[in-house]
Amino acid sequence: MNEVPPALPVRNDRRGIWPTVVFVGLCLLVAGSVLIPLWTSKPAPAPKNFNSAQQQSPEFTAVVGQLDASIEKEWREAKVKPAPQAPALMVARRLSLGLTGTLPSLEEIRALEEQPQEQVIQWWLTRLFEDRRYSDYLAERFARAYVGVENGPFLVYRRHRMVDWLSTEIQKNRPYDELSRELINANGIWTTQPEVNFITVTVDQNDKDKGPDEVKLAGRVSRAFLGVRLDCVQCHDDFMGGSWEQKNFHELAAFFAPAEMSLTGVRDNKKKQYEFRYHGKMDDELVTPRVPFKPELLPKEGALRERLAKWVTHPENKAFARTTVNRIWALMFNRPLVEPIDDIPLEGTYPPGMEILANDLVAHHYDLQRLIRLIAATRIFQLDSTNRDNEHHVTDGQEKLYASFPVTRLRPEQVAGSVIQASSLRTIDAEAHILWQVTRFFQQGDFVKRYGDIGEDEFNQRSGTVPQRLLMMNGKLVKERSDENIVMNASSRIASLAPDDVSAVETAYLCALTRRPTEQERNYFVELLNGIKGKARFKVMEDLYWSLLNATEFSWNH
């Protein structure tokens, strides 16, 4: 009896609950449709605006060279040997997970493999930038930092409107400093001016007459835009050896005092002032708006929130640029360059590359796409996560110094998105059939709810749980997306339509793990499929898919 390759789990229970009524209805609706081909090896269309010359310019390559040199200097000093370069498909997988929360589809892999080796990464990034999944995904990640994940006060808050607005602005590659200023200084109605929801989310559900909460807004601004946990001194001075004082926080909060609710939405009332009773005091006192550092950058004229917004995003306020770099880095590596993500020192020694990226971000007008391209072009982003020569394992020292790509557990939305995309031969994007989009929406939301949404602290590394493992092994999503269903599932299509057994196994591995099987893996499953037809063949492919989706390799970024 053959043994299952050691990297893959064994499926011991094919039982599961029946699909929901909605899911069954959708399947029946599309069963007779000719809109979705059953098999395709057709590559995805090329991006519309790819220009290889931009990323090969001396100016761009010089910055990448500086980044690599700063990291390599640290390797030499620590006498650490870097891991080899990762395969191109593995790098593409990282980019897809980090920027869209899902895997490359089979047709996208086919297109990638047609590109010249030296252009693959930047070509793939261009395609991702043109894909609405990219801007939708980044918008949600940023929104968690801006407003959290709670629904907030129903009558005066529309989170989905703000996320949609963010996505549109990111899709246009609007300069990030402009976008940030618009949030901090937002005015108007939360339904017609989506950015104003950054302000209205702080309204107390039970005390709407009070208006926006200055304390909550100050805390959000300091963490989300400046990478400073100033709200830690909200109640008293820092008694743990830090330099922050209680007044620093409340002087920042005072900038939001004029914001109030009116018939025309959020408007500034210049007569409103901020009062607070400091720790150890008997009475409230008037608090003068002051910024906690670099006061010389604060404009002298203008409304308070307008002045604050300009101070936060001032080119010389490097805290803003560093925080932006750290958040984009966290998306791409699944862990921030400085941890925690919203606690970056204002002064001191920064990790190699951070200041280079921050300076370049300012010099290029807070262009997020350029920042992403620079990080992706570095040697460290393209390193393998293991030593494939098997001479020795990757050490903690290598991973800490980014001498190998850090291995991190996928977040819930990445796991769900990957399961759904891996189970389709077609790309599930904004151009996909409405059936796929609706199915993805409901299945992903249900899975994340059951798996456990990490919330706004999504980049804090956590260990996996037994319930999460059981959900993957026995849960509804993996069961539905690996069972026999020739209309919806790649496993059934492959079993029915692959030209030969080798192609069937290779296609399954490409869809699920974005790589081809090793010789041992291929031989094992080809032997299982050899001569098998009908229901038995569907069951073998079903079990293969279940094993791949439950493999450790599937649920980690590497």
Q: Same domain for 551 and 494?
A: yes
- Domain contains 15: no
Distance CA 424, CA 254 (A): 52
- Domain contains 47: no
- Domain contains 344: yes
Once rounded to an integer, what is the mean pLDDT over residues 21-42? 47
Q: What's the whole-number average pLDDT of the chain? A: 87
Residues 6+ apart with CB under 8 A from 323: 224, 225, 226, 227, 342, 344
- Domain contains 416: yes
Does residue 452 come out as left (phi exceeding 0), alpha (psi in the -120 to 50 range) or beta? Answer: left
Contact 323/344 with Cβ under 8 angstroms?
yes
Whether 33 has a pLDDT exceeding 80, the answer reads: no
Domain boundary among 250, 283, 312: 312
The encoded tokens of residue 464 equal 């996996």
Distance CA 375, CA 370 (A): 9
Q: Letter for the amino acid at 310?
A: K
Q: How confident is the model at residue 261 (pLDDT cuts 50, 70, 90)?
A: very high
Q: Same domain for 105 and 164?
A: no
Once rounded to an integer, what is the mean pLDDT over residues 351-363? 97
Distance CA 275, CA 268 (A): 17
Distance CA 345, CA 114 (A): 44
144 CB-side CA count, 13 A = 16
Q: Between 233 and 19, where is the model more confident?
A: 233
pLDDT value, residue 492: 87
pLDDT value, residue 187: 96
- Domain contains 14: no
Please name which of 219, 215, 228 lies closest in space to residue 342, comparing C-alpha atoms. Answer: 228
Q: Same domain for 116 and 137?
A: no
Residues 6+ apart with CB under 8 A from 349: none
Q: Same domain for 203 and 280?
A: yes
Q: Same domain for 157 and 239?
A: yes
Neighbours of 414 (CB within 10 A): 23
pLDDT value, residue 1: 39
Q: Between 231 and 167, where is the model more confident?
A: 167
Q: How confident is the model at residue 527 (pLDDT cuts 50, 70, 90)?
A: very high
pLDDT value, residue 389: 57
Residues 6+ apart with CB under 8 A from 53: none
Long-range Cβ contact pairs of 163-167 (< 8 A, separation 24 or more)? 163/136, 163/139, 164/139, 164/194, 165/194, 165/195, 166/135, 166/138, 166/139, 166/142, 167/132, 167/135, 167/136, 167/138, 167/139
- Domain contains 372: yes
Name the percent of the chain in helix, strand, coil, to the closest 5. Answer: 55, 5, 45
Long-range Cβ contact pairs of 462-466 (< 8 A, separation 24 or more)? 462/409, 463/409, 464/409, 464/555
- Domain contains 63: yes
Contact 223/310 with Cβ under 8 angstroms?
no
Note the pLDDT tens digit of each residue in 483-519.
777 767 888 899 888 999 999 999 999 999 999 999 9
Q: Same domain for 281 and 335?
A: no
Domain boundary among 371, 400, 429: 400
pLDDT value, residue 114: 93
Sign of CA dihedral 112, 117, 119, 120: positive
Domain containing residue 546: 21-35+410-557
Whether 448 has a pLDDT exceeding 90, the answer reads: no
pLDDT value, residue 394: 76
Q: Between 370 and 35, where is the model more confident?
A: 370
Domain boundary among 400, 424, 453: 400
Q: Same domain for 137 and 125?
A: no
- Domain contains 11: no
Q: How confident is the model at residue 36 (pLDDT cuts 50, 70, 90)?
A: very low
Contact 173/125 with Cβ under 8 angstroms?
no
Q: Same domain for 331 and 288?
A: no
Q: Same domain for 419 and 385?
A: no
Q: Same domain for 418 and 448?
A: yes
Q: How confident is the model at residue 208 (pLDDT cuts 50, 70, 90)?
A: low
Q: Same domain for 362 and 455?
A: no
Q: Same domain for 202 and 68?
A: no
